[in-house]
Structure 1
Amino acid sequence: MNDIPFTASATPSLGIELELQLINLIDGHLSDKSLEIIPLCNDDSHIKKELTLSTIELNSSVHDTPFTLYEEINTLARKVATIAADKQCGLCGGGRHFSNIWKNQTITPSKRYAELHELQGFLSKLSCVFGQHIHVGVGSGNDAIYLCHALIPYLPHFIALSASSPYYQSEDTGFDSSRFSALNSFHTFGQIERDIDNWHKFIGYVEECTELGVIRSQKDIYWEVRPKPELGTVEIRVCDTPLTLFHAAMLGGYAQLLVKYLLKNRVPIAQARNAVTHANAFYAQRYGYEALYIDINKRIRIPLTVHIQDMFSTLENGANVEEKKVLSYLSSYVQHGVNDASRLREKVQSGMSELEVISDLMEMLLPTAHITHSPS
């Protein structure tokens, strides 16, 4: 069996990947100019291309706190927006473009993306959606595998807290997060299999799936929580891209606190039926804050917001000043009962045009940055 080395990292360090919409400033539609903009940024480590030309991905450095992460991601986004403005483009958050027609998307030229397009067909363009991936550093592969299981009960928290994709092709889907409808068809999407309970078994799983042609490489495993051995992290992949960068950073802070707590207070790998964990995720996608949550330990259904706030209260015990700021922000966010999906609906229901909505979203992400041109 071939070894997959796990690069241990400081626990619990923090990083994020943030997929942003590249917007045509003239009509508010998605723009395909990412390859005209990214090289001008001169930062291949932090500003990257993605599967479609209408996406620009920001990759943070490794941070100790979400507050320094926010400072960096804000600086990166402003740099991109300034250069994009010269191409009549801007940036905004949101898990899905308000009116994007999937067939109009262009796959980014690259060998890997061409292979994905060949395998996935129309799903490659249909999956032109925008997410936030959160990386938290862990000390070993075994810890990463444990967390792939232990974090599953909390994924609905991240779904509801980040939900920002209620519209698809200008229609209200009824979902707070419709982004998943474009991802669920991928054959390697989902959650870690129950019998993979240590790093050795994960290596065996990767080897078997590769030999059988299920995957080409470990990169093809799209679990909702997965290990990232080359980075020494566990990666949470269920978040829509929020409408503001600060909220994205605070979601990273919550993940960091959860990982810290779960490593200190080890729990048995949950034996909840897949139907239960899938139902909890579905309800969060569909209803956001109004979702019910199946508490498998107590065998009851409770409001998802109660489960979220209970976890915030647990994490507050022993939290330092900065960690309490993260929890206070998110707790207030939940108490107000308005998430990004609600904000989008409010804009549309107020009578704003599509272009006005998109302009507002660009302003929310980076106030005035999308109209600031770089010096000639």
Structure 2
Amino acid sequence: MSKLPFKSSPIHSIGTELELQLIDLEDFDLSSKGIEVISRYCDEQHVKKELSLSTIEMSSSVHATPFTLFTELNTIARNLSEVAACYNCGLCGGGRHISNHWTNQTITPTQRYREIHQRYGFLAKLSCVFGQHIHIGVRTGDDAIYLCHVLTPYLPHFIALTASSPFYQSEDTLFDSSRFSALNSFYTFGIIDHTIATWNDFSDYVEAAIRLGVIKCLKDIYWEVRPKPEFGTIEIRVCDTPLTLLHAAMVCGYAQLLVKHVLKKRVPIESVYTSFVNSNTFNAQRYGFKADYIDSTRAIKTTLKSHMEETFNNIWQDADAYEKKVLRYFKVYLDHAVNDADFLRGMAHQGMSESSIVRTMMNLFILPDYIGSKGNTPQ
């Protein structure tokens, strides 16, 4: 097979996709009016259908900084919220609805989503959860494959920073991010195979996977970091959708800095035990910032918080003034060590009703002047 084409894009450029909860303002459960809202908004570039009718995907343009990205996201979100209100609906972030039962989900009636439902059965409805996907521009397919490998140790950072799904069907899961449990049953979920080291290797894999019926197209590869050759990006897919747009934009800024950092260092791809990778991922999902962490490079056990602090300090050395703004944001955030999951639990522990919690989530989503706050969650 000839090598898959890879569309080069501006290096280190960023963009994001946010899967948003569409909320019924009568009962604050999920609404199935996604097609109506999306059709009325009438901008397929920025507002798109997703697997369930209760999910609206909001997509950004390409940006050089997280600050311009935030401005665009905020504009789209406010306009989209006004359209949703015409159908007595609201919008919010969060990796899962607090109380909705998976059987109540309705699959969006497109050919691709019908095929997914037919192939995966009940798993398709279970996977109607809400995540943030981060795109970073790269020049070549080989760079994309390299990044799919070397970013793996840092994925727990993004999990802890965005975890916002502690509740499932009105129960506290004890996880900061329970969204993963709806996704990891897909057999193409996980991390890139260690045998795929170059773009040619990836092209060979795709050819064989399509020929043997493992996948039908590139979209069926659900790796935690995957190449997107049609965009010229790599896509990080481990994040819950944050509660605020500022935090979503700043997480993209962190991904941008991390990619710059690892491409500059250009360390060899490390052979790591899969169980160690899975342990780090699981612990970040379960415990957030309080997770243990296995540093495979040094063969030591540490904490996720320590590994994040060390990474921030390493990146700081070569950061410019704008990049240091991003790092300062996360240094303060990490000092507080309170993520969205903690914030949601805090409201529940204070006795707030589920509808009141969802209402607060909607208010946070369209809050325009959140830049001055400390971290992502109100203190």
1:265 correspondence with 2:265:
yes
SS at match of 1:8: coil
Q: Which runs of 4+ in 1 moved over 4 A?
A: none
Query: 1:160: which partner in 2?
Result: 160
1:95 correspondence with 2:101:
no
Deviation sequence 1:251-299 (CA, Å, 0-9, x none): 0000000111111110111111000001000000000010010011221
Query: 2:324: which partner in 1?
Result: 324
Report the Cα offset of residue 367 of structure 1.
3.4
Deviation sequence 1:83-117 (CA, Å, 0-9, x none): 11111100000000000100000000100001000
Deviation sequence 1:215-253 (CA, Å, 0-9, x none): 111110000000000000010000000010000000000
Report the Cα offset of residue 326 of structure 1.
0.6
Alignment of 1:236-275 (within 5 A): 236-275=236-275
Deviation sequence 1:145-196 (CA, Å, 0-9, x none): 0000000000000000000000000000000000000001000000000010
1:76 correspondence with 2:76:
yes
**Separation in 2, partners of 1:115, 1:42:** 25
Report the Cα offset of residue 39 of structure 1.
1.3
1:288 correspondence with 2:293:
no
**Separation in 2, partners of 1:163, 1:81:** 23
Query: 2:105: which partner in 1?
Result: 105
SS at match of 1:51: coil
**Separation in 1, partners of 2:241, 2:367:** 17
- The 8 Å contact of residues 188 and 220 in structure 1, kept in 2 or not, is answered as yes
1:53 correspondence with 2:60:
no
**Separation in 1, partners of 2:92, 2:323:** 27
1:33 correspondence with 2:39:
no
1:202 correspondence with 2:181:
no
SS at match of 2:177: coil
Query: 1:127: which partner in 2?
Result: 127
**Identity %, equivalent residues:** 59
> Where does the alignment leave 5 or more consecutive residues of structure 1 unmatched?
369-376
Query: 2:307: which partner in 1?
Result: 307
> Where does the alignment leave 5 or more consecutive residues of structure 2 unmatched?
369-379
- The 8 Å contact of residues 146 and 198 in structure 1, kept in 2 or not, is answered as yes
- The 8 Å contact of residues 138 and 232 in structure 1, kept in 2 or not, is answered as yes
**Separation in 1, partners of 2:234, 2:187:** 21
2:170 aligned partner, one-letter code:
S
Deviation sequence 1:93-143 (CA, Å, 0-9, x none): 000000010000000010000100000000111011000000000000000
1:304 aligned partner, one-letter code:
L
RMSD between aligned alpha carbons?
1.0
TM-score by structure 2 length? 0.96
- The 8 Å contact of residues 2 and 207 in structure 1, kept in 2 or not, is answered as no
2:182 aligned partner, one-letter code:
A
Deviation sequence 1:8-36 (CA, Å, 0-9, x none): 01111000000000000111100000111
SS at match of 1:239: strand
How many residues of Structure 1 are paired with residues of Structure 2 in the alignment? 369
SS at match of 1:22: strand
1:3 correspondence with 2:3:
yes
**Separation in 2, partners of 1:157, 1:279:** 13
SS at match of 2:70: helix
SS at match of 1:48: strand
- The 8 Å contact of residues 20 and 55 in structure 1, kept in 2 or not, is answered as yes
Report the Cα offset of residue 331 of structure 1.
1.1
- The 8 Å contact of residues 192 and 226 in structure 1, kept in 2 or not, is answered as yes
**Separation in 2, partners of 1:357, 1:10:** 40
SS at match of 1:45: coil
SS at match of 1:115: helix
1:260 aligned partner, one-letter code:
K
**Separation in 2, partners of 1:314, 1:11:** 21
Query: 2:226: which partner in 1?
Result: 226
Query: 1:372: which partner in 2?
Result: none
**Separation in 2, partners of 1:309, 1:329:** 12
Report the Cα offset of residue 2 of structure 1.
3.4
Report the Cα offset of residue 321 of structure 1.
1.3
2:257 aligned partner, one-letter code:
L
**Separation in 2, partners of 1:270, 1:165:** 31
Query: 1:363: which partner in 2?
Result: 363
1:283 aligned partner, one-letter code:
N
